[in-house]
Amino acid sequence: MTLAAAGAIALAAALDRTFSEPPAGLHPVAWLGRAVASLDSRLPDARLVGVGFAAGIPIAFAALLAAPVVAVGALSPSPVPAAVAAGVVLFACSSHRMLLSVAGDVIDLAERDLEAARRELRALAGRDATDLSADHVRSATVESAAENLADGLIAPLCGFVIGAAATAVVGVAPAGGLAVAAGAAAWIKGVNTLDSMLGYRDRRAGWAPARLDDAVMWLPARATALLILAAGGGGIGTGPIAILGRVRSAAGVPDSPNSGWPMGSLAAVLGVRLAKPETYTLFPTGSLPTASEARTGVRVVSRAGWLAFGVAGVSLAL
């Protein structure tokens, strides 16, 4: 079954490379966003409501996306159809090429049309970009590319691999194991989506989604940091122990227990300072990224993403 799961990962990577994202009208994450927004507008902004959201919505989303894998698997004794369905689910729950495209566009715009770059940055970073300089726009883009790699690709991949490996160990039938793997990826995507929509300090309903996301992202954030360091060849003029120490130090600067790991690793690879004005600064003795350095950062994130697909697939195929 793990070989079939590795094939599903390969299919998801191929679909990402070919199509970038599912069509907007057919994208299950877009459906989830509309459903959460509708419920949120009808229910009070209360902590108990947020607990209900965190407990129920990701599970419902996981069940919804695992169901087609179960259905397809029941129609054939071969694991191939279920693997195809699971690969499509993983593709729908992850994002790589789209992230790179948007980040590249913002970096290019920052050189010739700063207002447009500030507007486009909203697709990557949830911050007020009204007064950001071109340097700070590039910094935000590099930060968001690293952080969104963790949220958008590494986290669902981790869920898929863990689900597939765990069910193989306990002897679950191939179709069932693939459904669990797809459901695990969808559950994590549901958690991330809830946090991105509700997990703000001024939202009482956001407390539970934010805390659940903190727990879920602990492993993916640190795995992303290692992948970025591997993809970037380590830091400038430092050994592996020293660079890990620098990344660990930078990771403690943002309020989030997780976001500093991928951001700090990319900043260390590039040898730059990354800063969110009046909030945090990583490696304050450095300079904010130039356009060339920011583009290099996007290429490192691209390589880290492909490396993640490869490591995930090989870990299941062996």
pLDDT at 238 (0 to 100): 61
pLDDT at 134 (0 to 100): 97
pLDDT at 221 (0 to 100): 98
- Cβ–Cβ contacts within 10 Å for residue 161, how many? 23
pLDDT at 20 (0 to 100): 94
Query: Whole-angstrom Cα distance, residue 217 to residue 36?
Result: 20
To 10 degrees, what angle do helices 260-270 and 240-251 make? 130
pLDDT tens profile 109-151: 999 999 999 999 998 987 888 999 999 999 999 999 999 999 9
| pLDDT band, very low/low/confident/very high, at 242 (cuts 50, 70, 90) | confident
Determine the average pLDDT of the residues in 64-93: 97
Query: Whole-angstrom Cα distance, residue 131 to residue 215?
Result: 33
pLDDT tens profile 19-72: 999 998 999 999 999 999 999 999 999 999 999 999 999 999 999 999 999 999
pLDDT at 234 (0 to 100): 65
pLDDT tens profile 196-240: 999 998 999 999 999 999 999 999 999 999 999 999 986 555 666
Query: Whole-angstrom Cα distance, residue 52 to residue 56?
Result: 6
pLDDT at 127 (0 to 100): 82
| DSSP conformation letters of 35-89 | HHHHHHHHS---HHHHHHHHHHHHHHHHHHHHHHHHHHHHT-SSSHHHHHHHHHH
pLDDT at 302 (0 to 100): 98
Q: In whole numbers, what is the pLDDT of the chain averaged over residues?
A: 95
By the 8 A CB rule, do 146 and 224 touch? yes
Beta carbons within 8 Å of 1's beta carbon, 6+ residues apart: 79, 164, 167, 168, 172, 173, 174, 177, 178
pLDDT at 1 (0 to 100): 58
pLDDT tens profile 142-193: 999 999 999 999 999 999 999 999 999 999 999 999 999 999 999 999 999 9
pLDDT at 244 (0 to 100): 87
Determine the average pLDDT of the residues in 62-90: 97
pLDDT tens profile 247-294: 999 999 999 999 999 999 999 999 999 999 989 999 999 999 999 999
SS3 of the chain: helix, strand, coil, percent, to 5 = 75, 0, 25
